[in-house]
Amino acid sequence: MKASGNRLDKVEEALIAAHRRQEDLQLPPEWRQRVLEDIKAQPQPEAVPQEKESKAVVLNKFGWAAAAFSFAVLAAVCLILVTLDRKDPWVALKLEKGTSASLANFRLEAGDNESGLRNLTVTIIQKEIKIEVLAKDLAPHGMLCFPTGDVVKKVNIPLALNTHKLGLHAGEVTIIIVARDLSWNNGFAGNETTLKKTIYIAHNENP
Amino acid sequence: MPDYVSDDTQVVQAILNGNINSFEILMDRYQDYVSRIVRNHVPQNDAPEVAHDVFVQAYQSLGGFKESGKFKHWLSKIAVRCCHDFWRNHYYRKNNLVSPLPEECRDWIGQLLADQSPGSDADRVEARDLLQWALGQLSAQERTVLTLIHLDEYTVAEAADLLGWGVIRTKVKSHRARKKLRKVLGKCLP
């Protein structure tokens, strides 16, 4: 096999050498005249207008730029989809000591370990009464993609509900807590967690 | 009377302005250069006709010559493409029929391998015939790229530029062409 390869190399080398040792081409005496006659029979060449060429070059460059831009956008979208925070924030409401019939003390804890919290609202509903007792905007300053402040990952807020001041009566009360994070999920609206808790006011005394 | 001092761009401009006789200046300057390119690619008998086509095509395309480029390089691209077109038409006409290897070429291989080939003119003719026969088994593209890179020692980048191909394509085609040529030659070995 190797011997066959060596023999092939030898033949190949000889052929290349023969190719390179070719004599100069001798053009026939009438050749030049014939070329000139044929050229004179051709229509006069015209310079391609610079403007047309420029347009073609610009179009070509624009095409490449558009392709590069599309690729960059596609790559960015893929990156965002891969790294997108799809986890909902967490919320916990604990009853604290010192709670009486007219004053309910809670501790509200919420957080989001990935993108951080955007806002937090607490609403109380009793029959036709609907009161928003807390609305906290936790989003950092600046644009959503370029925040200038710190992202809030966790909050711990004491929540004291004076049933008398809020105009609540004895009976069932629903507390609705909504937390939303800074994720771009759900069309940039973020992930949302809703916690509903029902408490019972035994007797609403005046303070 | 042609002005030999003018550079190529000025000559081209003069032709575009209607002075057709100035084309003789370009012919004087590049006739030998074009002949050398053509001689390396096509058979001796067909070379004058292909060289003729190179100059006629160059004249027809003069309007597209960019002032920033070198005329010699531009002309060499036309020459290589004319040679490529020659083989494309040739293969098309002969319908890819492959003739058997001439007996003299077979003898020449035997003598060469037996170290009895002194490198005379006769040997050279037979070697060239064998090379032409082997190249005849390749496609026009393979033949052109192989001639440029392996026989005429152009770099892959230069060959790619002359053919108007990408570097990777040129490299792959050249590699495949050489492999095919060696396969053809391998079948001729005694």
Q: Do B27 and A8 touch (CB under 8 A)?
A: no
Residue A122 included in any domain: yes
**CA–CA separation, A134 and A124 (whole Å):** 10
| Residues A63 and A111 grouped into a single domain | no
| Residues A70 and A120 grouped into a single domain | no
**CA–CA separation, A206 and A13 (whole Å):** 112
Complex ipTM value? 0.82
| Residues B63 and B52 grouped into a single domain | yes
| Residues A99 and A190 grouped into a single domain | yes
| Residues A41 and A117 grouped into a single domain | no
Instruction: State the total domains in chain A.
Output: 2
Average pLDDT value for residue range A69-82: 91
Tokens 């002359």, located at residue: B162
Which of B96, B112, B138 is where one domain is finished?
B96
Q: Is the pLDDT of residue A1 over 50?
A: no
Domain span holding position A20: 2-83
Residues in chain B with CB shorter than 8 Å from the CB of A28 are 48
pLDDT at position B3 is 47
| Residues A12 and A95 grouped into a single domain | no
For an interface test with A, the pick among B128, B129, B138, B184 (most A C-beta atoms closer than 10 Å) comes out as B128
| Residues A42 and A98 grouped into a single domain | no
Q: What is the CATH number of the domain that holds B133?
A: 1.10.10.10
Q: What is the CATH number of the domain that holds B64?
A: 1.10.1740.10
pLDDT at position B121 is 55
Which of A83, A111, A132 is where one domain is finished?
A83
| Residues B184 and B112 grouped into a single domain | yes
Residue A207 included in any domain: no
| Residues A110 and A171 grouped into a single domain | yes
Chain A nearest CA to B187, separation (Å): 10
pLDDT 10s digits, A140-189: 877 666 666 788 899 999 988 888 888 888 888 899 999 999 888 888 88
| Residues B84 and B102 grouped into a single domain | no
Helix, strand, coil abundance in chain B, percent, nearest 5: 75, 0, 25
B70 in contact with A, Cβ within 8 Å: no
Structure-model confidence comparison of residues B104 and A35, the more confident one: A35
**CA–CA separation, A11 and B114 (whole Å):** 11
Which of B76, B96, B116 is where one domain is finished?
B96
A14 in contact with B, Cβ within 8 Å: yes
Residue A189 included in any domain: yes
| Residues B87 and B177 grouped into a single domain | no
CB A120 within 8 A of CB A138: yes
Instruction: State the total domains in chain B.
Output: 2
| Residues A72 and A99 grouped into a single domain | no
* Residue B59 CB neighbours (<10 A): 22
Interface of B with A in 127-186 (CB under 8 A): 127-128, 130-131, 134, 150-151, 181-182, 185-186
Q: What mean pLDDT value characterizes chain A? A: 83
Q: Do A12 and B56 touch (CB under 8 A)?
A: no
Closest-CA residue of A relative to B55 is: A35
Closest-CA residue of B relative to A6 is: B113
| Residues B51 and B105 grouped into a single domain | no
| Residues B15 and B29 grouped into a single domain | yes
Tokens 């006629």, located at residue: B56
| Residues A96 and A179 grouped into a single domain | yes
| Residues A69 and A137 grouped into a single domain | no
| Residues A119 and A39 grouped into a single domain | no
Which of A56, A83, A110 is where one domain is finished?
A83
Q: Poorest-confidence range of A24-28, A134-138, B164-168?
A: A24-28
| Residues B103 and B187 grouped into a single domain | yes
| Residues B10 and B61 grouped into a single domain | yes
Q: Is the pLDDT of residue A93 over 50?
A: yes
A31 in contact with B, Cβ within 8 Å: yes
Residue A82 pLDDT class (50, 70, 90 cuts): confident
Domain span holding position B56: 1-96
**CA–CA separation, A150 and B94 (whole Å):** 78
- A3, burial (CB in 10 Å: exposed 0-12, middle 13-18, buried 19+): exposed
| Residues A61 and A95 grouped into a single domain | no
Which of A42, A67, A83 is where one domain is finished?
A83
| Residues B32 and B83 grouped into a single domain | yes
**CA–CA separation, B128 and A192 (whole Å):** 81
Residue A43 pLDDT class (50, 70, 90 cuts): confident
Rounded mean pLDDT for each run of 10 residues along chain B, 190 residues in total = 65 89 91 91 90 94 81 92 91 69 82 68 76 89 93 93 92 95 88
| Residues B88 and B141 grouped into a single domain | no
Which of B96, B131, B160 is where one domain is finished?
B96
Q: Do B131 and A15 touch (CB under 8 A)?
A: yes
**Using CB atoms, which residue from B59, B113, B134 is nearest to A42?**
B59
Residue A124, phi-psi category: left (phi > 0), alpha (psi -120 to 50), beta (remainder): beta
Residue A135 included in any domain: yes
**CA–CA separation, B13 and A47 (whole Å):** 9
| Residues B143 and B172 grouped into a single domain | yes
Residues in chain A with CB shorter than 8 Å from the CB of B40 are 19, 22
B60 in contact with A, Cβ within 8 Å: yes
CB B41 within 8 A of CB B20: no
DSSP output for A13-40: HHHHHHHHTPPPP---TTHHHHHHHHHH
| Residues B83 and B118 grouped into a single domain | no
Taking each helix axis from N to C terminus, what angle separates B23-41 and A31-41, rounded to the nearest 10 degrees? 120
